A and B are shown apart, each in its own frame.
Chain A
């Protein structure tokens, strides 16, 4: 009987290790993170020389897509964003640390999926949002950032994390 009881004490550390291994493997698969971050204050120029602030997009549901003309994965992601646009999903571009002319040419060459594209040359708004690079996609719902996806947005990630909001 005692020999059986002692195995319980071996089982404790093993189950802890298995539990943490599972948690870590799940968190590595999960590139999308739920957030609850108020849209930071900003006032920036768009690529078509309009001024946009957080108040202009504080109501409604939008995707904010971080992109740049120097970003190769953004080119891979682009057809999917066009599909979303055609389905009526409003996407705001956040042009990240990019040369303005290059960005405008990129949109001319490949067609723009964005309703409007903010030119964040210094990456100030991006830093306030917690951007680590491009591409990244944020879900903005009534002035609150509720989702973030790091890397290419594709149909799987869209269905898994974003589709329910539109």
Chain B
């Protein structure tokens, strides 16, 4: 019985060991590349998930996309080139950090709402 639980523990040890090493397979030339990689996979949405970044996803397509981003970084592609690659294939919704100028109306919407309500309730008081 004791030997069984020891074997069980050894199996568990290797399972967790493999899991830890799985997160560490990307090797970069320098820490700047590594930083770019992790910020990109945090900013790009997993194409298969309802909500969640590539970093948070274990879906096969997310794994492939992370690998592709990794190789594009090694290949000296810029962040914008990498994002363009993803957006062209998986749509604008893939970018969790959309540009301000392209979405000006959305960014200004809270202000429009606020001004509308201020005028609405302001006029009510005066009447």
Given contacts A12-B112, A33-B91, A37-B88, contact A131 B61 (CB under 8 A): yes
Task: Please give me the residue from chain A that is nearest to B122 by CB atom.
Answer: A6
Q: Does B124 contact A (CB under 8 A)?
A: yes
Binds A, one of B5-13, B27-35, B95-103, B113-121: B113-121
Chain A nearest Cβ from B71, distance in angstroms: 11
Q: How many residues of A contact B (CB 8 A)?
A: 22
Binds B, one of A42-50, A79-87, A107-115, A122-130: A122-130
Q: Does A159 contact B (CB under 8 A)?
A: no
Contacts of B127 in A (CB 8 A): 2-3, 6
Given contacts A37-B89, A130-B89, A130-B90, contact A13 B123 (CB under 8 A): no
What is the total of A-B residue contacts with beta carbons within 8 Å?
55
A113 to B111, CA, bound (A): 55
Contacts of A133 in B (CB 8 A): 48, 61
Contacts of B47 in A (CB 8 A): 130, 132
B112 close to A16 (CB less than 8 A) = yes
Contacts of A149 in B (CB 8 A): none
Contacts of B91 in A (CB 8 A): 33
A2 close to B112 (CB less than 8 A) = no
Given contacts A10-B120, A13-B116, A127-B65, contact A132 B90 (CB under 8 A): yes
A→B interface (CB under 8 Å): 2-3, 5-7, 9-10, 12-13, 16, 33, 37, 97, 123, 126-133
